[in-house]
Amino acid sequence: MDWELYVIAVIGSTLAGAINTLAGNGSAITLTILTELMGLPGNLANGTNRVGIFTQSAAGVYAFHRNEKLDVNRSRIYIVLTSIGAVAGILFATQVSNEQFMSVFKVLMVLMLVVILVKPSRWLRETDTSLSPNLWVAVPVFLAIGFYGGFIQMGMGVFFLAAMVLGARYGLIEANAVKIVVVGLYTLLAVLIFAYKGLIDWKIGLLFAVGQTAGGYFTAHYASRYPQANVWAYRVLVIVVILAILRLFDVSAIFRYFFG
């Protein structure tokens, strides 16, 4: 690769690691670099991208735990349920194409934006440690989110945060800490599967892992200590969802059609 690509890879992956830690969908950056700039085929880019997601998750978990923003014991029911669902989703994804679900995903993201923007105060509260999980709700919801994440991945972090903040009554930073535990666990399985099938470019994957790990660690570290971290995490979440919707509906193409 030319040196310019190395610079773009490190900067882009660092930004993606930070976005994934505070909200999700940072892979839109890394996958674009891998496919559009580096020319990797889609399946190879997908596998290569998982290396950095795993190392970024591990670094973020360490930072959140070190700064006492991650209570694994209290969150284990959500971690276990989502991980089980994700394993099923990964196995299902090896058998079925997910292309037909993209139209559904577009609608889900628009609905999610509405949910995020209506009554923002719900997203800015602190964790309610007195609330116990309602298993009748938690079991189907987190199994479904995990299955979706293992199957499609795209947007999983946004849906998981909604369930943790609005349902389990976690603060946004604590919810992000639990999210990256789950993502790290099922991404490790995904890395093993992609590696077995020869769908990882390790040289490029490890390069991206450097940036994603740095972005994940430092974002988790400072988010754990910054008093207004929930507010900034909420703002990043809104921006991420809006950009995802614009990308999914290809707004630039619509604009060119009418005004080009």
What is the residue-wise DSSP string for 124-188?
SSPP-TTPPP-HHHHHHHHHHHHHHHHHT-TTHHHHHHHIIIIIS---HHHHHHHHHHHHHHHHH
Rounded Cα distance, 116 and 126, in Å: 16
The pLDDT of 125-151, averaged and rounded, is 86
Tokens of 191: 């890395």
> What is the dihedral angle through the alpha carbons of 16, 255, 99, 89, rounded to the nearest 10 degrees?
30
pTM here is 0.84
Task: State yes or no: pLDDT of 128 exceeds 90.
Answer: no
Half-sphere exposure of 5 (CA within 13 A, CB side): 12
* Residue whose C-alpha is closest to residue 83's, from 156, 167, 176: 156
- Distance CA(99)–CA(67), nearest Å, equals 40
Q: Per-residue confidence at 96, pLDDT binned at 50, 70, 90?
A: low
Q: Is the dihedral of CA 185, 47, 217, 156 positive or negative?
A: negative
- For residue 56, the model assigns a pLDDT of 94
Mean pLDDT, rounded, for 201-220: 94
Alpha-carbon gap, residue 142 to 136, rounded angstroms: 11
- Residue 51 confidence (pLDDT): 93
Q: How many CB atoms lie under 10 A from the CB of residue 254?
A: 11
The tokens of 95 are what?
A: 């058998």
Residue type, 88: A
Tokens for 25, please give them.
């969908």
pLDDT in tens, 142-155: 999 998 887 776 67
How high is the pLDDT of residue 103? 66
Cα angle 12, 18, 22 (rounded to 5 degrees) comes to 145
Between CA 65 and CA 73, with CA 67 as vertex, the angle to 5 degrees is: 35
Tell me 119's DSSP state.
S
Please indicate whether residue 66 or residue 23 has the higher confidence score (pLDDT): 66
CB 177 within 8 A of CB 61: yes
pLDDT band for position 210 (cuts 50, 70, 90): very high
